[in-house]
Structure 1
Amino acid sequence: MPLIHISLRAGKPEAYRQAIFDSVYRAMRETLDVPEDDQFMTIAEHEAANFRYGDAYGIARSDDVVFIQITVFNTRTSEQKKALFRPTAELLGESPGIRPEDVFVNVLESAKENWSVGHGLAQFA
């Protein structure tokens, strides 16, 4: 039950943004055993004045950098989370063509009782 928020600079065409959705979803299906059709994702586009990044950690990023924040149940193993990073960068490299240096991923954990996916119920508590 991941919840994904993706941020990037404004101006990319719809097909580019849809390719990001598809690639991130595929990486999660392959590494986190995400069920089919479990797609809860947003993309927020930011004007240049509202989007900042740097070359910290020895990585030369470009204006095409994407920030991907994935919130998951706190039941995922460290191995599963680490296994997610490389395929995400590889698949985004294939489509829509984002350089691996421009793929910034953050995984957040949340206890199952913190989720309601509809009807005001705590389905996983």
Structure 2
Amino acid sequence: MPLVRIDMNRGRSREEIKAVTDAVHQSLVEVFKIPERDRFQLVTQHDADEIIAQDAGLGFERTPGAVMIQIFTQHGRSTEDKQHLPSAARRPCASGRRRPRPRPTRSSL
């Protein structure tokens, strides 16, 4: 039963929020082999000045569309599975749009 916390700037449509939550959940089903109905997600929208995500010298610009995703799981998930999770969530949606790109942090792995 992974618990997913998703933080994003306010102003996204319901469809955009659903695309983010569905992408994250589908990657959990695929990689961690959880049941489809094992879904626990908290989505929080913030004012623009409440998410601070500065450039860390990684060579890309952050946009106001940044999404922060934290996944809390029980013990027993392999490091390999945890590292594969972000790439599974980035696969293109059926509509041709790219899925949001979750960026794992060491504390969330």
What TM-score bracket applies, with the shorter chain setting the length?
Answer: 0.7 to 0.9
On the 8 A contact 1:2/1:70 being kept in 2, the answer is yes
The answer as to 2:10 corresponding to 1:10 is yes
Offset, 1:38: 0.4
User: Deviation digits for residues 39-95 of structure 1, max 9, x if unmatched?
Assistant: 100110000121111111413221111000000011100111111111112357x67
User: Deviation digits for residues 9-59 of structure 1, max 9, x if unmatched?
Assistant: 000011110111111110111111111200100110000121111111413
The 3-state SS of whatever aligns with 1:104 is coil
Q: Which structure shows the higher strand fraction?
A: 1
- Unpaired runs of 5+ residues, structure 2, are none
State the partner residue of 1:118. none
The 3-state SS of whatever aligns with 1:29 is helix
On the 8 A contact 1:9/1:64 being kept in 2, the answer is yes
Which structure has more relative contact order (CA 8 Å, sep 6+)? It is 2
| Root-mean-square deviation (Å) | 2.2
Report the identity percentage: 25
TM-score by length of 2: 0.84
The answer as to 2:103 corresponding to 1:104 is yes
User: After superposition, where does 1:7-86 map in structure 2 within 5 Å?
Assistant: 7-58=7-58, 59-86=60-87
Is the alpha carbon distance of 1:72 and 1:99 closer, same or farther for their aligned partners in structure 2, counting shifts above 3 Å?
Answer: closer
TM-score by length of 1: 0.74
Provide the aligned length of Structure 1 versus Structure 2.
106
Offset, 1:99: 5.6
State the partner residue of 1:119. none
State the partner residue of 1:89. 90
State the partner residue of 1:122. none
